[in-house]
Amino acid sequence: MSQLVALSVSIGLLGGIATILYLKLGLLIWAGFIAWACFFHSGGDSNALQKTIFGNLFGAFCAWVAAVLILSIPLGEKLSLPVWAGIVVGVTVLLMCLGARLKPFSVIPASVYGYAATFAFLLQTADAMTQEKLRSASMANALIIVGVSMVIGAIFGLISGKVGAALTAKT
Q: How many CA atoms lie within 13 A of 2 on its CB side?
A: 3
Give me the tens of pLDDT residue by residue for the chain, a chain 171 residues long: 899 999 999 999 999 999 999 999 999 999 999 999 999 999 999 999 999 999 999 999 999 999 999 999 988 778 888 999 999 999 999 999 999 999 999 999 999 999 999 999 999 999 999 999 999 999 999 999 999 999 999 999 999 999 999 999 765
- Please tell me the distance from the alpha carbon of residue 91 to that of residue 152, in angstroms, as a whole number: 29
Contact 40, 135 (CB under 8 A): no
Domain that holds residue 162: 3-169
- Please tell me the distance from the alpha carbon of residue 99 to that of residue 55, in angstroms, as a whole number: 10
Contact 92, 99 (CB under 8 A): no
Predicted TM-score (pTM) of this structure = 0.94
- Could you give the number of structural domains in the chain? 1
Contact 63, 145 (CB under 8 A): no
Q: What is the pLDDT of residue 171?
A: 53
